[in-house]
Chain A
């Protein structure tokens, strides 16, 4: 919400000063680390032993992820950066133990290696500094993040599949160092600490990013 307000205020301020504003697009690829996997919510399920209502499963542990991202920004006066909208999709990489946990008293099994994380990136506000072909930018932006993974619940001698999801408000700080390749293209190294992602300081995203814009 702060990001939205900031973006609107900046845009309004820029208009009053007859500022230049231009759009910029970017795509990125890189890794991510989720420090602590959140508790996941399972949808109601009927097993051979019982009918289960919606429940919560403790999963814990960290996740290493890889994925892609893309977004659209607004730049004002070549100094202010207003991230508008974007998205990211990550999936688990690496070796994971199956997590034996429980949901509403039943034994459950979660497969962290099937984890998928999606981010819907919402507006924020930031600043950028240029020096010749180089640029450094920082921004604070909001969003919504959801993580899901495969699991199953025990019912005597059988397993029943579980649909596991968790959604959260997202607040992240974007820091990038870029170098211009040609008049409209930049390549950037980006580090994005997740200030709030299910809980405080719960991971980071890092990677390479291509940007097209001023």
Chain B
């Protein structure tokens, strides 16, 4: 009997020692895979928000028309902003020629027939239509006669639109009274029948952390506009990096929303190629083509944005950051309602440059 007891005790001790040894050696490790649980969880619902898209120009090619005609895009977008009006040196808003205005009217009618609201954006560029000259613009809008001419001619070109968007960039902070005066003078001629919105720099502090960020005063403009589009784009300007950081965008929208309730957060559809001669915007297809031609892998940055490192002409080293359906859905998922309230809209910037799978992917995740 005593022998059996000793044997039993020895058995249990052996078991205990074996378990202790195995436990001491046990640990967790990385499978090398990822599981998505961003915001409302990827592959389930994304927060539904009112979507708008900016088309940088007056013309839509067949590609963008096909995109806008798809049912998936119509689920995501409600408003199309054609950023194509440009003020001239005397304050006249162009385009002025009959052909251009007729084409714009036809385009607006076509988009409305697809179920979209159409806004015309006024890009305060020089006459090249591409370059923002803040000094010249601030001189123009400081002149009451110039503003008067602008306000007189604006209704002639925005007739077919449901709204007007004001895109002022690179202004010095001193232009603030002129900006407020311009918007205050525009509002009475636009707002009776149309919406008026302004593009606002994505400041995250007061005073603004951006050069010229205080030229547009949200508080002063609030009584005169229906919506403010917070342009949370081009986060990486000097060093290579993603076009947007989702957390930074949240801070910019929160600050703006403290001054005005109806705001949009902007999301880029384009990418940026950083090289030794500066940066340039690129489309999704161009980014993929560069990666394929250069034979380099597409990596993902911390925010999920894809990027490519490649060597271009003359041995110049480039880094190209862009967004695709996955990175966009990830950011939009991170902006759950506890982070950005449901009334914050999304402004997609640069239709035509996006991942062709984007709107299909987003629409399947919407509730």
Contact = CB atoms under 8 A, between A and B. Distances in A.
Partners in one complex: yes
Interface of A: 29-30, 47, 49-50, 52, 58-61, 66-68, 91-102, 104-107, 109, 111-115, 152-159, 179, 181-182, 187, 207-208, 210
B91 interface: no
Contacts of B240: 157
B235 interface: yes
A34 to B, nearest CB: 12
A50 B330 contact: no
Contacts of A29: 16, 19-20, 23
B9, B16, B27, B28: most-surrounded residue (chain A CB, <10 A): B28
Contacts of B276: none
A210 B303 contact: no
A197 to B, nearest CB: 19
Interface of B: 5, 8-9, 12, 15-16, 19-20, 23, 26-31, 33-39, 41-42, 204, 235-236, 239-242, 245-251, 301-304, 330-331, 333-336, 339-340
Contact of A99 (B16, B35, B250, B339): B35
B250 A105 contact: yes
B37 A60 contact: yes
**Interface secondary structure of A, over-half rule:** strand
Given A52-B247, A156-B245, A157-B241, 20 more contacts: A49-B247, A50-B204, A61-B35, A67-B23, A95-B28, A98-B35, A100-B35, A100-B36, A102-B38, A102-B336, A105-B247, A105-B334, A105-B335, A107-B302, A107-B303, A114-B28, A152-B302, A154-B302, A156-B235, A156-B241
Given A96-B31, A105-B335, A210 B16 contact: yes
B306 to A, nearest CB: 13
Contact of A156 (B33, B39, B236): B236
B302 A112 contact: no
Given A98-B33, A156-B301, A157-B241, A105 B339 contact: yes
B30 A96 contact: yes
Contact of A95 (B31, B42, B236): B31
A100, A156, A159: most-surrounded residue (chain B CB, <10 A): A156
A181 B30 CA distance: 41
**Interface secondary structure of B, over-half rule:** mixed
B339 A104 contact: yes
Given A102-B39, A157-B301, A181-B12, A91 B29 contact: no
**Nearest 4 Cβ contacts at the A-B interface:** A106-B247, A113-B28, A105-B250, A154-B302
Contact of A107 (B27, B38, B41): B38
B16 A94 contact: no
B250 A155 contact: no
Contacts of B20: 29
Contacts of A102: 38-39, 246, 333-334, 336, 339
B27 A158 contact: no
A2 B29 CA distance: 39
Nearest to A207: B19
B35 A97 contact: yes
Contacts of B251: 50
A92 B31 CA distance: 13
A179 B4 CA distance: 14
B29, B35, B242: most-surrounded residue (chain A CB, <10 A): B35
A115 B245 CA distance: 28
A68 to B, nearest CB: 8
B340 A91 contact: no
Contacts of B8: 179, 181
A182 B28 contact: no
Contacts of A159: 302
B37 A101 contact: yes
6 contacts: A66-B26, A102-B339, A105-B335, A111-B30, A154-B245, A154-B301
Contacts of B16: 29, 187, 208, 210
A106 B302 CA distance: 10
B19 A155 contact: no
Contact of B334 (A68, A107, A155, A181): A107
B23, B304, B339: most-surrounded residue (chain A CB, <10 A): B23
Contact of B242 (A67, A95, A157): A157
A157 B246 contact: no
Contacts of A91: 27-28
A97 B242 CA distance: 25
A161 to B, nearest CB: 12
A194 B5 CA distance: 34
A158 B335 CA distance: 20
B286 to A, nearest CB: 21
A116 B72 CA distance: 44
Contacts of B35: 61, 97-100
A83 B236 CA distance: 59
